[in-house]
Amino acid sequence: MSKIFRSSSPSKAYLVLGFVLALAFLLWPARGLRSDSFASYFLKERRGASPEVSGGAQQPQGDQRPKIEEATPVEGLPAVVLDAGHGGQDPGAHSRDGVVERDLVFELEERVRAELASTNKYRVVLTRSGDANPTFDERAAAANAARPIAFLSFHAGNLGKRIPRLMVYTYWSSSSRTPSAESDPLAKPTPRTGGPSEIFVPWMEVHERHLERSRQLADALQSELGKIPGAITGKPVEAPVRALRSVDAPAAAIEIGSVAPDVNSRSLTNPVLQQQIATAVVRALEAFVGGGP
Cα 135 → chain centroid? 7
Q: Nearest approach, Cβ of 38 to other proteins (angstroms)?
A: 6
- Among 36, 63, 90, 212, the residue binding other proteins under the rule CB under 8 A is 90
Element (H, E) at 18: helix 10-35
Residue 173 binds other proteins, judged by CB under 8 A: yes
CA end-to-end span of the chain, whole Å?
A: 71
User: Contact, 81 vs 148, CB < 8 A?
Assistant: yes
Residue 185 binds other proteins, judged by CB under 8 A: no
Interface stretch with other proteins, choices 49-57, 75-83, 87-95, 123-131 (CB under 8 A): 87-95
Provide the 3-class DSSP secondary structure of residue 261. coil
Whichever of 30 and 145 has its CB closer to other proteins, that residue is 30
Residue 92 binds other proteins, judged by CB under 8 A: yes
User: Contact, 101 vs 29, CB < 8 A?
Assistant: no
Q: Nearest approach, Cβ of 205 to other proteins (angstroms)?
A: 11
Element (H, E) at 152: strand 150-157
Residue type, 225: L
- Among 31, 162, 192, 227, the residue binding other proteins under the rule CB under 8 A is 162
Interface stretch with other proteins, choices 40-48, 138-146, 190-198, 271-279 (CB under 8 A): 40-48
Residue 156 binds other proteins, judged by CB under 8 A: yes
Interface size with other proteins, residues (CB under 8 A): 63
State how far the Cα of 237 lies from the Cα of 220, in Å rounded to an integer.
13
User: Contact, 82 vs 126, CB < 8 A?
Assistant: yes
- Among 215, 242, 266, 283, the residue binding other proteins under the rule CB under 8 A is 242
- Among 132, 241, 278, 281, the residue binding other proteins under the rule CB under 8 A is 241
User: Contact, 78 vs 145, CB < 8 A?
Assistant: no
Per-residue interface string for the shown chain with other proteins, residues 6-25, x marking contact by CB under 8 A: ---xxxx-xx--xx--x--x
User: Contact, 214 vs 150, CB < 8 A?
Assistant: no
- Among 202, 234, 271, 291, the residue binding other proteins under the rule CB under 8 A is 234
- Residues with Cβ within 8 Å of 143's Cβ and at least 6 positions away in sequence, in order, are 81, 83, 125, 127, 151, 247, 248, 249
State how far the Cα of 60 lies from the Cα of 113, in Å rounded to an integer.
15
Burial of 158 (C-beta count, 10 Å sphere; 0-12/13-18/19+): middle
Per-residue interface string for the shown chain with other proteins, residues 247-276, x marking contact by CB under 8 A: ------x-x-xxxxxx--------------
Whichever of 40 and 119 has its CB closer to other proteins, that residue is 40
Residue 204 binds other proteins, judged by CB under 8 A: yes
Q: Nearest approach, Cβ of 258 to other proteins (angstroms)?
A: 8
Residue 230 binds other proteins, judged by CB under 8 A: no
Residue 113 binds other proteins, judged by CB under 8 A: no
Handedness of CA 39, 40, 42, 47 (dihedral sign): positive
- Among 84, 86, 129, 140, the residue binding other proteins under the rule CB under 8 A is 86
Residue 237 binds other proteins, judged by CB under 8 A: yes
Q: Is the peptide bond before 258 cis (omega within 30 degrees of 0)?
A: yes
